[in-house]
Amino acid sequence: MYIVGIIPARFASTRLMGKPLAKIGGKPMIQHTYESALKSKLLSEIIIAVDDEKVFEIVKDFGANAVMTPKDIPTGSDRLAYVIESRKDAEIIVNIQGDEPFIPGRMIDEAIEPLLFDKNVEVSTLAKRITDVEELKSASIPKVVFDYNNYAMYFSRSPIPFVREGKSYSDKLKRTEIFKHIGLYVYKREALLRFTSLMPTDLEIAEKLEQLRMLENGFKIKIVVSEFESISVDTPEDLDRVRRYYQKFVKNV
């Protein structure tokens, strides 16, 4: 199968303007993400979908394949759909978040594998067990619950499931497994195009989570539980944190 990884790189982030070009150890963040994605063993090709001429030129300078997309495309998924409309060879499409500069290649492959081994899986994504109270409390970290076949039942910014007998957040984590959602998606081509043709739904609008549009329209989303971690950058504070991570764990590797 021909598997295309697409990294959406939106310049005008509301919380961190120019995020793709933010420097980490002398390289733009988008280059770190691209180099991390290259470590995947299953991707046939990687494309960076940009909406800004400066980002386009920098991506070309470090040797990646850049595709210019309109600035008014509303979501990363829509940007993927725009790119693959003309790519009939793309059978599986992987949405790799541009703001996760050190995502492990094995993590990308974990998400891809269900679509290779089960013809009934159309969409997959990742989850990781929460062990930190601050992650449980944070509304910026979506949570997911899934059934015994590892299909998503619901995503929320609230802590789910609600652990009724938990006396504190730490007690809730001890009493049951609670998972955060890691926003890397893998789609069959037809599923991506079908999903992005749909209008935003009520739950999606309420929670500001576009994956709920899939659930509300009957898509089944396979959840892969990962032991790997990936740091996302949404704010200046996140950027400082990832720079410290780079200096400590990545720089001399």
pTM (two decimals): 0.95
Which fold would CATH assign to domain 3-132+145-154+180-250?
A: Spore Coat Polysaccharide Biosynthesis Protein SpsA; Chain A (3.90.550)
- Locate 136 and state its tokens: 């449980």
Can you give the pLDDT at residue 67? 97
Q: What are the tens digits of pLDDT across the range 239-251?
A: 999 999 999 888 7
Residue 22 burial (C-beta neighbours within 10 Å; 0-12, 13-18, 19+): buried
At residue 152, the pLDDT reads: 98
pLDDT of residue 47: 98
Task: Pick out the chain residues at pLDDT < 50.
Answer: none
Residue-wise pLDDT tens digits, 177-194: 999 999 999 999 999 999
CA angle 36, 41, 43 (to 5 degrees): 80
Percent of the chain topping pLDDT 70 = 100
Q: What's residue 79's pLDDT?
A: 96
